[in-house]
Amino acid sequence: MKTKDAEAKTLTRFIEIYCREKHHVLALCPACADLLSYAGKRLKACPYDPKPKCKNCLTHCYLPAYRDKIRAVMKFSGMYMIKRGRLDWLFHYFLGKG
Ligand code: SF4
Ligand SMILES: [Zn+2]
């Protein structure tokens, strides 16, 4: 459960960064809020324990449109974190620990 909580936190942070940098709004825009809500539901319903990283998962429970969106968010915000030396967040992202 702890891992899912950590992943939910990472998900939220990464979508917040993506929206702020790409959509230039202070709060989440409707599209990003929708993505976060969708990803949160998928995470809660995930049948795996321990849970693999979604990008390595063979089930791929995301609908294709959402999968594309979350991939774009993870890539963009992952790079954003690297550029700012936020290795603590990258640790969550790549290893799913926390
Ligand atoms: S893609 Fe796989 S790992 Fe990710 S939430 Fe869905 S079932 Fe779980
Ligand atoms: Zn947005």
Residue 91 has pLDDT above 90, yes or no: no
Contacts of 27 (CB under 8 A, 6+ apart): none
Residue 96 has pLDDT above 70, yes or no: no
Q: Would you say the CB of residue 11 lies under 6 angstroms from ligand 1?
A: no
Confidence (pTM): 0.86
Angle at 32 between CA 30 and CA 38, to 5 degrees: 100
Angle at 40 between CA 97 and CA 18, to 5 degrees: 80
Residue 8 has pLDDT above 90, yes or no: yes
The full set of domain ranges for the chain reads 2-95
pLDDT at 92: 63
Q: Would you say the CB of residue 48 lies under 6 angstroms from ligand 1?
A: yes
Q: Would you say the CB of residue 79 lies under 6 angstroms from ligand 1?
A: no
pLDDT at 97: 46
Enter the tokens of residue 33. 């809020």
Looking at the CA of 47, name the nearest ligand. Answer: 1
CA dist 89 and 37 (Å) reads: 21
CA dist 95 and 46 (Å) reads: 17
pLDDT at 4: 86
User: What does the pLDDT look like over 21-76, one tens digit per residue?
Assistant: 999 988 999 999 999 999 999 999 999 988 998 989 999 899 999 999 999 999 99
The secondary structure of residue 49, as a DSSP letter, is: S
